Amino acid sequence: MIDQYGRRVTYLRVSLTNRCQLSCTYCTLQDEPAEVMTPDEIETILRVASDRLGFRKVRLTGGEPTLRRDLPDIVRRIDAIPGIREVALTTNAMLLERRAAELHAAGLRTVNVSLDTLRPERFKELTGSDGLADVLAGLRAARDIGIPNVKVNAVLMGGVNDDEVADFVRFAATERIEVRFIEHMPMDSERVERWKVEPREVLAALAGEAGVQPLPARQDGGPAERFRVGEATIGFIHAMSNPFCDRCNRLRITAEGTIRSCLLTGGEVDLKSAIRAGGSAAEVERRVEQLFRQAADMKPPIYDLQREGGIAMRAIGG
């Protein structure tokens, strides 16, 4: 699908729930649990997105998607859609050790583990949980069961965890897992300067210590700038200091069942109501297709960070 600015939109992020067992400092909002979409509804949406509109990659997010008991069924249904080339999951990995095998068998091929510190005391401070050991066990279980792409996403926050960059680089080398450093994206005006870290300064420090070799851009057009540092593979995603809006290829379905055209700005259309409005299967599919096209055309040429005020990150899936 091509939006009005000529961008090819082929990547869909689906938030399966706004529930999470952690209380991360930059994420948590005290929302009521959303009424989530069913596996049948998700499958209908993804078939339309793939067959009619050319979507090729799906990432399941939350909240925390592993809290849904039907997650393997959802993965299996999506993986069976012929046009979908990759089913990915973003997770805090607290439950991943016990679920990795069934998710791999269902067709999961990419796991991104959200992990902002490797220090137990700091993990508890940031998340309200003593579960760092569970996260690391889940990450290793996903790798060892044979899920091909296992990565860590670490949000860099100045004065909070920016002193752990070298630790994460060593972790990437030791665990044979790519670590991606994500620039903190403030969701309200009070946080625009708070926790700010300059990715280029971090990269320059790494280059001075260990040498940095740029890696080719990924064929899927992902936003990460990737590098080789010794035996480690790392990446940087800096949507604030270096926006990649001109090549953005994604839409988001929120936990409440709306299509969001952009993480930060743009607009939303009500997808869940269209699915539940009744009619024949063909009528439902036509409504879904129309809403996808409407949402794509609402994608802004570049985001305006504060136009809409505070945004519930756990509801839109990051």
Binding residues: 13, 20, 24, 26-27, 59, 63, 90, 114, 151, 185, 245, 248, 250-252, 262
- From the CA atom positions of the chain, what is the Rg in Å? 19
Residue 169, amino acid: V
Between helix 132-145 and helix 96-106 the angle, nearest 10°, is 30
Start-to-end Cα distance in the chain: 22
Q: Is 189 helix (H, G, I), strand (E, B) or coil?
A: helix
Between helix 71-79 and helix 39-51 the angle, nearest 10°, is 20
Q: Give the C-alpha separation, 206 to 169, whole Å.
A: 9
162 contact partners, CB below 8 Å, separation of at least 6: 156, 197, 202
Parallel, antiparallel or unpaired: strands 225-229 and 213-214: antiparallel
Token pair 């510190």 is found at 117
Six token digits for residue 161:
């965890």
Task: Tell me the binding residues for GTP.
Answer: 13, 59, 90, 151, 250-252
Task: Tell me the binding residues for S-adenosyl-L-methionine.
Answer: 26, 63, 114, 185
Task: Tell me the binding residues for [4Fe-4S] cluster.
Answer: 20, 24, 27, 245, 248, 262
Q: Is 236 exposed, middle or buried (0-12, 13-18, 19+ CB in 10 A)?
A: buried
Closest C-alpha to 83, from 10, 174, 163, 159:
10
Closest C-alpha to 294, from 269, 316, 315, 312:
269
